[in-house]
Structure 1
């Protein structure tokens, strides 16, 4: 399927379930999404991640609706809506290549070519950025410093690397 049309279809379905409070529709979307993902050979690790990560927000929303809001029925609808969003998004993101999407949006939906190729260039820099972060972490470990993701040493030269030679 055309990635641009697939994106448009996912957005339309997501908007539709945003304004409806129907448990059956949510369960049907979840079921079809799981079947579609299994048909496209989703890995077990990806499937567990899709079930596990939205579990806590979904349970929190369910419990808050059950105790303080619209009751168990509305809480169940909202819980299944979160999973419907997650699995619907997964049907797009797991089965669509980013390069194909950018090129389709440029060709079929009149996205400016400078924007499309700029996004592709930025997307292709991600592996290089990860490699450079690993180099910085390794260099810091050689100096006995552990860098965390919030460390400012990723963007500034640490004081231990300052020139300490003779002053002229």
Structure 2
């Protein structure tokens, strides 16, 4: 999975996710989830990383199981045509779908380099350099924002005041500094000749090959089969 072009991988996984919304089979959910775990392991994703990610997913699935079960019990309280076994089946169906969509997300995030994904959006999907480098700038300014929040809180702490990270006393000065950072970044990029109209050379180009096309065909066929599943 790590060798698949990120844009093709993104489109393929989105395609499968949408198709999976039309399925209603607990057995399929379980088999599909196990298959994706196996594929993650074959892609050399750390077992510990998978387990740590699945812990909150399991908590969410359990909560959804109990909600679906209790809600179904109340709904069929005066109905004799639906029994407890059917109620359990519905709860298992709803909760097991959580794993499917979580693992689909893990399939993309754990096997994709985010820099390569952004470059592939430019090279395969034709997004502009302004858009791509704007995202890079937003990502790279995040550590600075995080540091500024800490500095603001320490300043209040030095004066004997305790404030929340989401307090207006912290956020208002932070917003002012973000505007200044953005303005300085825009000036710096323009001083380096970064204009929308000028064609730029690329130091890294993401290529596509036959494996990417095969992946898209597999995803399309799988999506079609999933829609047909009852």
TM range (shorter): 0.7 to 0.9
Unaligned residue ranges in structure 2 (runs of 5+): 73-85, 174-230
Task: Say whether the 8 Å CA contact 2:45–2:111 is kept in structure 1.
Answer: no
Q: 5 Å matches for 1:116-135? A: 116-135=132-151
Task: Say whether the 8 Å CA contact 2:121–2:127 is kept in structure 1.
Answer: yes
2:185 is matched with none
Give the one of 29, 37, 41 matched to 2:40.
37
Task: Render the CA deviation track for 1:124-148: whole Å, top value 9, x for unaligned.
Answer: 1111111222222222222222221
Q: What's the TM-score once normalised by structure 2's chain length?
A: 0.61
**What is the total number of aligned residue pairs between the two structures?**
156
Cα deviation for residue 85 of structure 1 reads 0.7
2:149 aligned with 1:149: no
2:94 is matched with 78
Q: What's the TM-score once normalised by structure 1's chain length?
A: 0.81
Give the one of 116, 121, 124 matched to 1:105.
121
Give the one of 14, 17, 26 matched to 2:29.
26
User: Considering only aligned residues, what root-mean-square deviation do their CA atoms show, in Å?
Assistant: 2.0
Task: Render the CA deviation track for 1:56-110: whole Å, top value 9, x for unaligned.
Answer: 3322322232233361112111111111111110121122122111110111011
